[in-house]
């Protein structure tokens, strides 16, 4: 006789898989944002080291165009601010997902224990 997984347990297992997939995507997105943030910080540091008369260029596809140091600094400073806000939001979402995953895992343990104890009771009876 084959054991069937109770529908509620199946539902929780599917929910757990979905949450874990969502968490994986979120971690990947956070990693990308962190890399972009590091790059923006490096650009700002490099711009700070340049003198006022040093030429600065912006990449436009395969062409480099002369740009204003102040304009680029403002652009990268704004980009950095946006990335920091986005990173904080991603970290908050990550924390919430971790909590949801923990709750679902606890529910699965509870349902599994209940199913096992019911199955053991039937086998003994």
What pLDDT digit, counting tens, does each position of 11-24 carry? 999 999 999 999 99
CB atoms within 10 A of CB 61: 6
What pLDDT digit, counting tens, does each position of 68-111 carry? 999 999 999 999 999 999 999 999 999 999 999 999 999 999 99
CB atoms within 10 A of CB 48: 9
Check: CB of residue 115 under 8 Å from CB of residue 9. yes
Return the CATH number of the domain spanning residue range 9-124.
Answer: 1.10.287.370
């Amino acid at each position: 006789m084959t054991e069937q997984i109770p529908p509620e347990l199946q539902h929780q297992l599917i929910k757990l898989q979905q949450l874990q997939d969502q968490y994986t995507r979120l971690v990947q997105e956070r990693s990308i944002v962190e890399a972009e943030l590091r790059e923006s910080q490096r650009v700002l540091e490099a711009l700070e080291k340049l003198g006022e008369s040093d030429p600065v260029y912006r990449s436009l596809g395969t062409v480099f165009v002369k740009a204003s140091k102040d304009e680029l600094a403002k652009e990268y400073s704004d980009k950095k601010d946006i990335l920091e806000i986005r990173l904080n939001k991603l970290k908050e979402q990550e924390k919430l997902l971790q909590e949801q995953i923990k709750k679902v895992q606890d529910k699965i343990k509870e349902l599994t224990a209940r199913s096992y104890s019911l199955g053991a009771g039937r086998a003994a009876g």
